[in-house]
Amino acid sequence: MEFNSNSAFLYIIVGIVIAFVLLQSVVFFVKAWRRGKELGMDMKALKKTVGTSAVFTIAPAFAILLGVIALSNALGFPLPWLRLTVIGSLTYEATAAAAAANAVGSSLAERITDPTIFSTIAWVMAIGIIPGLVLVPALGKKIEKGISNLESKDSKWGKIFLSGLFMGMISAFLGLVFAKVHIGLVGWIPVFVMFASALLMLICGLVRKLFNAKWIEDYALPISLLGGMALSIPITNLVMSLVG
Amino acid sequence: MKKEMSYRDSIHKMGRVWILSALAMLLAVPAAICIYYQAWPPMSGILKGLLSIVPIFWTVGVIEVFTYVPMLGTGGSYLGFVTGNLANLKVPCALNSMDRAGVQAGTEEGEVVSTIAIATSSIVTTVIIAAGVLLLSQIAPVLESPVLQPAFENILPALFGALGVVFISKDWKIAIAPLVVMIALFLLVPSLASAVGILVPVGALISIGVARILYKKNLL
């Protein structure tokens, strides 16, 4: 069989897996929606959750699409499409593919035409992400019990504990923003973008208070994310012109 | 209370079937490629490739389970770990949604909101990427235009800058210590950038440790 990384065969098997995962999202959505109704939750708030989550997702989704395009030069479209729609993340997939190509004496600089090399890359990318899929069903219940024990013992501390966990994640990624500062002014660009986005978030809060505009609160995160991304363009241009 | 147990139990049951099926399908893809093209790769190639990524990625994978499962709740975890892009999309989306809806992670209401947020985000991502792949010839020039590159390069700073304001202003007392340590760490050892996943629990331990001290002293 002549190998082609954009073959109809690959599109079909990848399409099946993506359809399966899409179905899972729909099933879980319906289940949670029904439970929300049973619990007597405010359905308007749940509808708002759907709206804000959808709007918030758009920009990151296009960034992920850009990752598919980047990998498609070497791997065709179906495999990167699968790997970035299901489980994958931008940083992981590119590294895993490059490492696998490297291990069999190839590289991602050009189109992979050898099916053996292609399947090696596919195996490495798939095996590399096994832990989450095995550990969530194995340990999920225990972790959840641990948290609910914590909360039943001391509910105030349980809440603080979870906030601490959030803060761990947020502080690690905010720290990451400073990782390029050592290269000079250009390395400060992410820091400036972070402050721009933070400022937009503060302005959203201010507008909410001054004009009693409750809607803005719901869309504050997507507004600040998109605004921060948009401002990164003039910020980058300005820094580049200063650096010369 | 009994009802709550039964809802979570049913999610666990359903979630296990879905997540393990997803795992089987995911491994079936490379297997199908090998069978169809009769191209079984040498074991040594796969092992060599794995050797260079497994030590870090499996460690991060294990850490992600322990840090994100409590945040995402049961349904959110079973779905989020299958659909991926956790740190850059699903977790911020779920955290923001729970905050906006005024529900607490770990409660059943939080669970419902987090699952709906992650499911919506997954569906939107899947649709955008599918449409993007189909319409690529029209979209690629725009997405790849040099003018827009800074915007995509700076998505994480733009995301966490805004998210940071929301959560730091809420609990600034427990935010300062991990922030200072993390910023100092990345300034001193920039190469840690590739292992940011490993630093999430380090930051969490610092903030939980500080929180414990403040809590015991009645300062929170």
Determine the residue of chain A that is closest to B132 in CA distance: A65
The pLDDT, as a whole number, for residue A91 is: 72
Q: Which of A132, A143, A196 sits opposite B81 (nearest CB)?
A: A132
Average pLDDT over residues B47-73: 90
Q: Does A183 lie in the same domain as A113?
A: no
Look-up of token digits 């690959």: A10
**Sorting pLDDT into bands at 50, 70 and 90, what band is B3?**
low
Domain-ending residue, one of A70, A101, A128: A128
Residues of B in contact with A32 (CB under 8 A): 75, 111-112, 115-116, 119
CA distances from A158 to A146, A154, A163, B42, B69 (A): 10, 6, 9, 50, 15
Structural domain range at position A196: 177-244
Distance from C-alpha of B215 to C-alpha of A79, rounded to nearest angstrom: 49
Q: Model confidence over B137-186: pLDDT tens digits?
A: 788 888 888 999 999 999 999 999 999 999 999 889 999 999 999 999 99
Write out residues 168-197 of A within 8 Å (CB-CB) of B.
168-182, 189-191, 193-197
For residue A235, give the nearest of B150, B165, B144 by alpha carbon: B150
Residues of B in contact with A103 (CB under 8 A): 45-46, 48-49, 51-52
Q: Which uninterrupted H or E stretch holds B146? A: none
Q: Which of A57, A156, A202 sits opposite B93 (nearest CB)?
A: A57
Determine the residue of chain A that is closest to B8 in CA distance: A141
Taking the Cβ of residue A19 and every Cβ of chain B, the question of whether any pair is shorter than 8 Å is answered with no
Check B15 against A137: CB less than 8 A apart: yes
Q: Which uninterrupted H or E stretch holds B182? A: helix B172-188
The pLDDT, as a whole number, for residue B1 is: 47
Q: Does A17 lie in the same domain as A118?
A: yes
Domain-ending residue, one of A90, A105, A128: A128
The pLDDT, as a whole number, for residue B5 is: 58
Q: Does A194 lie in the same domain as A116?
A: no
Distance of CA B55 to the CA centre of its chain: 19
Write out residues 70-129 of B within 8 Å (CB-CB) of A.
70-71, 73-75, 77-79, 81-89, 91-93, 95-97, 100-102, 104-106, 108-109, 111-113, 115-126, 128-129
* Distance to chain B for A111, nearest Cα, Å: 17
In a domain, residue A81? The reply is yes
- If one counts the domains in chain A, the total is 2
DSSP 3-state of A7 = coil
The vertex-B160 CA angle with A92 and B53, nearest 5°, equals: 15
Question: Amino acid identity of A46?
Answer: L
In a domain, residue A224? The reply is yes
Q: Which residues contact A195 (CB under 8 A, 6 or more apart)?
A: B161
For residue B112, give the nearest of B96, B92, B97 by alpha carbon: B97
The DSSP line for A164-229 is HHHHHHHHHHHHHTTTTGGG-GGGGHHHHHHHHHHHHHHHHHHHHHHH--HHHHHTHHHHHHHHHH
Check B70 against A162: CB less than 8 A apart: yes
Check B81 against A120: CB less than 8 A apart: no
Q: Does A30 lie in the same domain as A116?
A: yes
For residue A59, give the nearest of B83, B92, B173 by alpha carbon: B92
In a domain, residue A161? The reply is no
Distance from C-alpha of A182 to C-alpha of B194, rounded to nearest angstrom: 16
In a domain, residue A167? The reply is no
Determine the residue of chain B that is closest to A236 in CA distance: B150
**Res B113 pLDDT > 60:** yes
Distance from C-alpha of B105 to C-alpha of B113, rounded to nearest angstrom: 9
In a domain, residue A145? The reply is no
In a domain, residue A212? The reply is yes
For residue B21, give the nearest of A230, A103, A137 by alpha carbon: A137
Domain-ending residue, one of A108, A128, A148: A128
pLDDT < 50 stretches in chain A: none
Distance from C-alpha of B102 to C-alpha of B115, rounded to nearest angstrom: 15
Distance from C-alpha of A135 to C-alpha of A35, rounded to nearest angstrom: 25
In a domain, residue A137? The reply is no
CA distances from B220 to A201, B105, B165, B174 (A): 25, 19, 19, 9
Contact B118, B93 (CB under 8 A): yes
For residue B13, give the nearest of A28, A164, A237 by alpha carbon: A28
Assembly ipTM: 0.90
For residue A203, give the nearest of A193, A192, A213, A189 by alpha carbon: A213
Q: Does A185 lie in the same domain as A108?
A: no
Q: Which residues contact B31 (CB under 8 A, 6 or more apart)?
A: none
Check A22 against B123: CB less than 8 A apart: yes
Q: Does A93 lie in the same domain as A183?
A: no
Q: Does A231 lie in the same domain as A119?
A: no
Select from A167, A217, A233 the residue whose CB has the most chain B CBs within 10 Å, as the one to mutate to test that interface.
A167
The vertex-B115 CA angle with B110 and B121, nearest 5°, equals: 125
In a domain, residue A148? The reply is no
Determine the residue of chain A that is closest to B166 in CA distance: A201
